[in-house]
A = this chain, B = another copy of it.
Amino acid sequence: MKPIEGRRRVIIEEIQPQVDAGRYPAKRILGDTVTVTAAIFTDGHDHIASRVLYRPSTEAEFRTVPLTALTNDLWQATFLLDQMGDWLFTVEAWVDHFATWCADLKKRIAAQSSPGAPLQDIPIALRTGAILLEKTAERAQPLHTQLLLGAAGDLNRLAQSTTPIQGFPLADEIINLATQHPNTTFATRYPKELPIWVDRERARYSTWYELFPRSTSPDPARSGTFADVQALLPTIATMGFDVLYMPPIHPIGDAFRKGRNNSTTPSPGDPGSPWAIGSKLGGHKAINPDLGSLADFDALVAAASVHNIELALDIAFQCSPDHPWVKEHPEWFLARPDGTIQYAENPPKKYQDIYPLNFESTHWRGLWQALYDVFVYWIRRNIRIFRVDNPHTKALPFWEWCLAEIHKKYPDVLFLAEAFTRPHVMYSLAKAGFSQSYTYFTWRNTGAELQEYFEEITRPPISDFFRPNLWPNTPDILHATLQNGGRPAFMQRFILAATLGANYGIYGPAFELGENLPLKAGSEEYLNSEKYEVRHWDRTAPHSIAPLVTQVNRIRCENAALQSNDSLHFHPADNPNILCYSKTHGDNRILVAINLDPTQEQAGWIELDLKQLALPYHQDFEIEDLLTGTHYQWHDRSNYVALRPDIQPAHIFRILTSAPSPEATPPEKSSPPPPPLPEQWPSG
């Protein structure tokens, strides 16, 4: 069957950005300029023109921007994302007969005088141009119509002349007018509108601090409260954090409560795990009275915002046997043949303090709604960031629906996916709408591992939907590197997290105080984990690396290069214990060289990719180590570093020498030219 319109001769392919052929949105940040590329071409030798059509989904009308040709049929345009939320874009392209005519006429004029060239039929070409301008005039505003018709008349008069014409017979003004009023009757429009999701800036650049509120009491005799957390806010703000994340704050179940060190035989007074959510005092919308009242919570949120700190709540969709839902909505849980509710288990392990929700429930609609309502409840209490616990154990279609529903009303809400699982599942959660994701960073320790992993996650296609948030530790994960590496290991892993990732977080004060004892050999669980007991910390201990944390967070704040990941670039070093990488943003260029070995000094030569750093070849340049204030004069590609893990495990250099002006930059290696083309049109 023939198409409705067979004269749409232009083909549009390979549009970027797109995630899974437009199934999911590409993610960007408010104020970003999106670069759209596409392959656009038509048959034959006609010129083409094209434009991007783009709009926030809340607007009916498309805005437009023309694409410009790169090489080999690739085209490019950029546009600004000036509001949060869903955007849509597509590409439209058409044969540009006016541009073809202009180009051909120039060749005809050039050939008029070359001996032996055939007669160029210039009068006919001029009359053709006049017809094109007359048709353009029909599409133009009255203001321009006369100009275009006048130019058409000029061409027709010129066509009567018998002398060769001199120069191109149209003024730039007329050419521009004609270009602005293209004939798009037979324009091809790409059949899909591709989605972009635009978050606020904290989705890309955020600095997280996790603490257990019950461990914040300055009084060893009692457990901490929201008020104690509030008292800590100046400290946390001074350290440079802008997201304060608390494990679940809800009432904790009594049934099968876990004791210290995950014991199944708790002592009286053991507080239980905050992830065993729900008791007779309430569930996911209630507050554990040990922490304070709802008013205390509101006060904490308000006080935090004064310090530019946002509170992030932990949403863990699971229930203690005492959770009200268990009685009110038994249909949301899986019943066993004996009528009891199926607790969480992964044979032979049993977690009888936790009832998972059954996403295959006949009443899934009500369940989905209730979970959605949990988020909205806290959003209405001014929470805009959620760390979601184990989202990969809940149905993926639920997340896609739930996050989209929330984002429709609250586009500024951010979700961090706490999933440590296989790559496809982690990426699928990010596609489903999570704003940030935990990563494998904790288990990537050698330079080669780090480089391979970060090159994967900071480049398209992954970086179009997956935003890493790097954690050197969490309450669940005390990696062997930290267990064995002492204070240098904490400094190294911290610097890596804070400079490789524009989003990172630490679980403190265990982290900055160097807590490194595992539950048992080979385990990544903490001994005396705060998950099961109240702890009291001495934040003023002299071995704390809080000063380093404070300093690096200030460096992050002052250097835009460290506030995104797109420019991350690794530079080779001749010592595998040294990892060197840079991030750039305009003239702000940060170069990190870090010793990955916590046990001894490592030194070596690093080979800088000068082009990446916008540095001239074979010349001196000046850098400043932002950790020490020391200035260095470096030269050309190869430079030497020596790093003692206990004193200074890393350099964080800022390049002070200005980037050369664009014309001084060595020419970029361009795409290969198209293959040589024989004279092939037409055969014969």
Contact = CB atoms under 8 A, between A and B. Distances in A.
A683 B275 contact: yes
B41 A682 contact: no
Contacts of A364: 6-7
Contacts of A531: 683-684
Contacts of A98: none
Interface string A417-436: 01011111100100000000
Given A42-B396, A356-B682, A477-B678, 15 more contacts: A6-B401, A7-B395, A8-B397, A9-B359, A11-B396, A41-B422, A43-B394, A43-B396, A72-B422, A72-B423, A117-B348, A128-B337, A318-B682, A351-B682, A524-B678
Nearest to A673: B422
A622 interface: no
A260 B13 CA distance: 43
A683 B72 contact: no
16 contacts: A1-B401, A2-B401, A9-B396, A39-B424, A43-B394, A43-B396, A124-B336, A275-B683, A275-B684, A276-B684, A389-B683, A390-B682, A390-B683, A420-B678, A476-B683, A524-B679
Nearest to A372: B2
A365 B681 CA distance: 24
Top 8 closest pairs, chain A to chain B, by CB: A275-B684, A111-B348, A273-B684, A21-B21, A127-B337, A107-B347, A73-B424, A44-B393
A443 interface: yes
Contacts of A525: 679
A401 B348 contact: no
A416 interface: no
A172 interface: no
Contacts of A104: 347
A70 to B, nearest CB: 12
Given A9-B395, A356-B682, A359-B9, A43 B425 contact: yes
A380 interface: no
Interface string A2-36: 11001111010100000011000000000000000
A338 interface: yes
A231 to B, nearest CB: 26
A42 B186 CA distance: 44
A111 B347 CA distance: 8
A684 B318 CA distance: 11
Looking at A1, A365, A422, A676, which has the most chain B CB atoms within 10 Å of its CB? A422
A152 to B, nearest CB: 12
B680 A420 contact: yes
A392 B43 contact: yes
A258 interface: yes
Given A13-B20, A678-B524, A683-B316, A2 B393 contact: no
A26 to B, nearest CB: 15
A628 interface: no
Interface residues of A, number: 98
A307 interface: no
A488 B434 CA distance: 63
Given A6-B368, A348-B111, A124 B683 contact: no
Most buried by B among A73, A348, A351: A348
A141 interface: no
A591 to B, nearest CB: 28
Interface in A76-108: 95, 104-105, 107-108
Contact of A682 (B120, B344, B679, B680): B344
B2 A108 contact: no
A557 interface: no
Given A124-B338, A680-B390, A440 B44 contact: no
Total copies of this chain within the assembly: 2
Contacts of A401: 1-3, 6
A50 to B, nearest CB: 14
A682 B342 CA distance: 14
Contacts of A318: 682
A684 B316 contact: yes
Contacts of A421: 674, 677, 680
Contacts of A11: 396, 424, 428
Contacts of A676: 443
A114 to B, nearest CB: 7
A73 B423 CA distance: 9
A281 interface: no
Contacts of A360: 7, 9, 95, 186
A677 B346 CA distance: 14
Max chain B Cβ within 10 angstroms of own Cβ: one of A114, A354, A359: A359
Contacts of A349: 118
A509 interface: no
Contacts of A210: none
A454 interface: no
Interface string A339-372: 0000010111111011010011100110010000
A563 to B, nearest CB: 27
A131 interface: yes
A332 interface: no
A269 interface: no
A268 interface: no
Nearest to A423: B72
B45 A346 contact: yes
Contacts of A394: 43-44
